[in-house]
Amino acid sequence: MLGLYQTVSVDIDQIHELTSIVREARQQIFADDVVTLPSRVEKDLKLKSKPLSQCKKCQEWGHHDSKNCDKFKEKEKQRLALKLQSLLHS
């Protein structure tokens, strides 16, 4: 009778330990969600709510302007590469 009680109590302790581990894991997952999810969603919402503006460099409607235009940067890079090539070959 006592032996049976001991086995049961050990099992309950193990169950308690497991549930506390699961609870901690859940809390950690939840804590991560709180940190990462809203900021990502917020960024998405901000991008969607932001009005489109036309870039003066590539004439494209989007969320960038002439100062951070990727297409312009690419063109500029190509131009510099060509200039460098001509300098090297002359």
Q: Which of 4, 13, 58, 73 binds Zn ion (CB under 5 A)?
A: 58
CB atoms within 10 A of CB 70: 13
Contact 12, 20 (CB under 8 A): no
Is position 55 an interface residue for Zn ion (rule: CB under 5 A)? Answer: yes
Rounded distance, CA 55 to CA 64, Å? 7
Contact track, Zn ion, 12-51, x by CB under 5 A: ----------------------------------------
Let me know: does 53 contact 65? Beta carbons within 8 Å: yes
Total number of residues binding Zn ion (CB under 5 A)? 5
List of residues contacting Zn ion (CB under 5 A):
55, 57-58, 69, 71
